[in-house]
Chains A and B, each alone.
Chain A
Amino acid sequence: MITLIVFFGLLLTGFPIFGAILAGAVAFMATNDLAVLYDSIPIQFYGALEINSLLAIPLFLLVGEIMNKAGLTQRLIAVAEVLVGGLKGGLAYANLFTNAMAASILGSAVAQIGVMSKVMIPAMERSGYKRAFSGAVTVSAGLLGPIIPPSMLMIIYGVVAVQPIAPLFIAGILPGVLIVSALAIVIFLYGVFGPGLPAGTRGERSASVKILLEGLAPAVIPLVVIGGIMSGVMTPTESGAVASIIALVLGLVYRELQMRDLPAILLEVGTNTATITGLIAVASVLSWVLAFQGVPDMVVEHMTGLTDSPFLFLLLVIVLMLLLGMFLESISVLIVVVPLLMPVVTSLGIDPIHFGVVCTVATVLGLVTPPVGPGLYIAIVQADIRMWPLFRATLPFLAAVFAVLILIAAVPAISTWLPALMIGK
């Protein structure tokens, strides 16, 4: 109880989340007569970081940083415009399509929304779309970042739930396709029943061919990442390394990246990695001390007393994660909550890969729910929109993602069929 007061008290008054989790763990030890555990804090902290899977995090962050600096995003947008730009509301679909392609290179929703909103929102506005609607499409399509592989959230889930990363990555593909379809339907309905969508523009055929060819080069990255992992040729970490090499070479070839840009990029990657892995380290101290006192067993008892239906349990988890995700930083929620719930997942016979996909999509939604919604903030800053009009316009899209989430929770095969088919897991 005191732990909860310390934790939330610090968190809501603006204490660093890293420190609040650590303070919560120390408070728990102090108030449960477990001072003898203090000595183990450094071992637990250090040990939580000595995990091979975590190496994928800096590698995929590097791919993203290079991609942004090297102008690969613009090339993807041009390709999407050629493919779907001619439709009514073409630029909205192109936005969605670009995000789907970018998601197969990038691993983080906030990073993806940051890049895309800077470019896409002004472009859509120029073509006659409302700013809030443009923002809504960009923000919700950016959520694909951690659902379509590669994915930071899946790596984090894999580490805290002790699951292999490769099947988790593959498990995100079908849900990603479903979410793209759901978002496309919302755009379509907006055109039919809503205020309507501007007409599309089709470019010159010869120019189109040139754009498509230029776009082929960055498309090599998702081919390597997804293809390499699906065929079992590469580990997720290795695919991150290969993707970094390709992105670096492309950036240097396009002459939009120079060697002297690298130190700044590496510093950014290093500190962004530390933000994530630091949270994993302190959360592991907290999870361990809670486990020492048998808290997960109590959670199992309560949860299984509440329901023995896997689907109802998943619904409870979704509601819990969305509620916590409104007021807390949702990635921290994932890191703290998953270890507590894993024993329940096992006892109800839920596939941990299926659970990982449900948790990832629920976490992603938390990134764009106010008041604590980093995904909204970044779009607000990048495209100069106001919070409430943006959030209101985003709601129909979020409802669509939420509907897909419920579907994913109800039908395990959406998550488990493809990994089982590809790598027998």
Chain B
Amino acid sequence: AESLKLGHITPPSHVWHKVGEHIASNLAEASGGKMKITVSPLQKLGNEGQMINLMQAGAVQFGIFTAAGLANREESFLGWSLPYAFRDVEHASHAASTPAAREMLKRLEPNGLVGLGYTFAGMRHVLSLEPVKSPKDLANKKIRAFPSPIYNDWWAANGAAPTAMPLSEVAPSLTTKLLDAVDIDLDALVGLKFHQQAPYLTLTNHMAFPGVIVVSKKWWDSRSDADRAMITKAVAEAEAWGFQEAIAADKANLVTAKADGAKVVDADLSSFEAVGKQIRDKYTAKNPLIADFYKQASALK
């Protein structure tokens, strides 16, 4: 049997890991046990930058990358982080099959990666030490956000100070008020129980958070056509399964978070949405594919 590797950065409880396992079992079955994938969570194979190098060299064959991180290599992936482009996870997963979203996957090839599909985490919200009802409540507050230019622009435009920090340091930083808030999805919130430090949850619903399923181009090019068709099919099935899983998880996680003591704040989202429009305008003007993607995703509403 051929021994293959799939790496990603999330913990084993995350939807992405389950999607990875799903791809592994689909492919084991389809190949009659000839292709055996080991899924490595928590960046055990390396961080995303390292994993891309390893995939370019063919040492790692499969990966699930954050779209926001891949935007460092292919700018159009920033389209997925446009504020208020998606109603919910279901809407975002529909957007995954738009021509623009598929075009983004194609554009990964110069990076030595073949993009095969998407998988989602929950929508992003704000968890904070003090109730956040509008951007005013975040003025000059430190908020932990994904390290990416669009996240930085978005939080800066809301008057907050975006801060990059590993997840393991978030809980102690909230305790010591080194951080005032976290930009977070409910999956991570429920898993890491940050509401024990910062109880107030504002369902800003400002962005989606997709992962991109990729294959090493070097390895892909060395496969037969039949193998490629088999892999494409195995990934497509896991992708569809992952969409449903993420939609269900986002709903269930909200129930769990509330039951576990997270206090949902009654907030005025229109002011956040107004800020969101500025950021969307800036990024759609920057890159035509991002503009196409926003148009196509909006048409699905």
Direct contact of A and B (CB under 8 A): yes
User: Which residues does A use to contact B, with CB under 8 Å?
Assistant: 34, 36-37, 39-40, 43-44, 47, 51-53, 162-167, 232-235, 238, 288, 291-292, 294, 423-425
How near does chain B come to A45, taking the closest CB pair, in angstroms?
Answer: 11
Interchain CB contact under 8 A, A44 and B173: no
How near does chain A come to B194, taking the closest CB pair, in angstroms?
Answer: 11
Interchain CB contact under 8 A, B176 and A424: no
Contact A40/B176 with A47-B47, A163-B168 known, Cβ cut-off 8 Å:
no
- Complex CA distance for A328 and B49, rounded to whole angstroms: 34
Interchain CB contact under 8 A, A36 and B46: no
Interchain CB contact under 8 A, B175 and A36: no
Contact A164/B169 with A40-B46, A43-B46, A235-B178 known, Cβ cut-off 8 Å:
yes
Partner of B53, one of A34, A39, A164, A425: A39
| Beyond A166-B175, A232-B175, A291-B45, 11 extra complex contacts between A and B, CB < 8 Å | A34-B59, A39-B53, A40-B50, A52-B166, A232-B176, A238-B176, A291-B40, A423-B172, A423-B175, A424-B175, A424-B197
Asked whether B253 is an interface residue with its Cβ less than 8 Å from the other chain, the reply is: no
How near does chain A come to B185, taking the closest CB pair, in angstroms?
Answer: 20
For A40, the chain B residues whose CB sits under 8 A away are 46, 50, 53-54
Q: Which residue, A34, A40, A294, has most C-beta atoms of chain B within 10 A?
A: A40
Interchain CB contact under 8 A, B50 and A44: yes
Interchain CB contact under 8 A, B49 and A43: yes
How near does chain B come to A171, taking the closest CB pair, in angstroms?
Answer: 13
Interchain CB contact under 8 A, A37 and B54: yes
For B40, the chain A residues whose CB sits under 8 A away are 291
Report 11 cross-chain contacts, Cβ distance below 8 Å, ordered by A residue: A36-B59, A51-B166, A52-B165, A52-B169, A232-B175, A235-B176, A238-B176, A288-B44, A291-B45, A292-B44, A424-B175
Interchain CB contact under 8 A, A37 and B176: no
Q: Which residue, A36, A163, A234, has most C-beta atoms of chain B within 10 A?
A: A36
How near does chain B come to A225, taking the closest CB pair, in angstroms?
Answer: 14
Asked whether B57 is an interface residue with its Cβ less than 8 Å from the other chain, the reply is: yes
Q: Which residue of B lies closest to A50 (CB)?
A: B166
- Complex CA distance for A165 and B50, rounded to whole angstroms: 27
Q: Which residue of B lies closest to A159 (CB)?
A: B168
For A232, the chain B residues whose CB sits under 8 A away are 175-176
Interchain CB contact under 8 A, B54 and A291: no
Partner of A292, one of B45, B58, B196: B45
Q: Which residue of A lies closest to B40 (CB)?
A: A291
Asked whether B287 is an interface residue with its Cβ less than 8 Å from the other chain, the reply is: no
How near does chain A come to B246, taking the closest CB pair, in angstroms?
Answer: 24
- Complex CA distance for A235 and B172, rounded to whole angstroms: 7
How near does chain A come to B110, taking the closest CB pair, in angstroms?
Answer: 18
For B57, the chain A residues whose CB sits under 8 A away are 36, 39
How near does chain B come to A159, taking the closest CB pair, in angstroms?
Answer: 10
Q: Which residue of A lies closest to B49 (CB)?
A: A43
Query: What is the 8 Å Cβ interface bit string for chain B, positions 156-194, against chain A (1 contact, 0 not)?
Result: 000000000110110111011010000000000000000
Interchain CB contact under 8 A, B46 and A235: no
Q: Which residue, B40, B50, B176, B196, has most C-beta atoms of chain A within 10 A?
A: B176
Q: Which residue of B lies closest to A425 (CB)?
A: B171
Asked whether B244 is an interface residue with its Cβ less than 8 Å from the other chain, the reply is: no
- Complex CA distance for A51 and B47, rounded to whole angstroms: 14
For A425, the chain B residues whose CB sits under 8 A away are 171-172
Interchain CB contact under 8 A, A424 and B168: no
Interchain CB contact under 8 A, A36 and B47: no
Query: What is the 8 Å Cβ interface bit string for chain B, positions 49-73, against chain A (1 contact, 0 not)?
Result: 1100110011100000000000000
For B47, the chain A residues whose CB sits under 8 A away are 43, 47
- Complex CA distance for A425 and B169, rounded to whole angstroms: 13
Interchain CB contact under 8 A, A233 and B168: no
Q: Which residue of A lies closest to B171 (CB)?
A: A164
For B50, the chain A residues whose CB sits under 8 A away are 40, 43-44
| Closest 6 pairs (CB-CB, A-B) | A164-B172, A36-B57, A36-B59, A232-B175, A291-B44, A235-B176
- Complex CA distance for A18 and B175, rounded to whole angstroms: 36
For B53, the chain A residues whose CB sits under 8 A away are 39-40, 43
How near does chain B come to A175, taking the closest CB pair, in angstroms?
Answer: 20
User: CB within 8 Å of A: which of B239-285?
Assistant: none
Interchain CB contact under 8 A, B46 and A294: no
For A423, the chain B residues whose CB sits under 8 A away are 172, 175
How near does chain B come to A179, taking the closest CB pair, in angstroms?
Answer: 26
Q: Which residue of B lies closest to A288 (CB)?
A: B46
For A167, the chain B residues whose CB sits under 8 A away are 172
Q: Which residue, B38, B46, B49, B173, has most C-beta atoms of chain A within 10 A?
A: B46
Q: Which residue of A lies closest to B176 (CB)?
A: A235
How near does chain A come to B170, taking the closest CB pair, in angstroms?
Answer: 9
Interchain CB contact under 8 A, A235 and B173: yes
Interchain CB contact under 8 A, B169 and A53: yes
For B49, the chain A residues whose CB sits under 8 A away are 43
For A166, the chain B residues whose CB sits under 8 A away are 172, 175-176
For B46, the chain A residues whose CB sits under 8 A away are 40, 43-44, 288, 292
Contact A233/B176 with A53-B169, A288-B46 known, Cβ cut-off 8 Å:
yes
For A53, the chain B residues whose CB sits under 8 A away are 169
For B58, the chain A residues whose CB sits under 8 A away are 36
Q: Which residue, B54, B165, B172, B196, has most C-beta atoms of chain A within 10 A?
A: B172
- Complex CA distance for A53 and B168, rounded to whole angstroms: 10
User: CB within 8 Å of A: which of B11-43?
Assistant: 38, 40
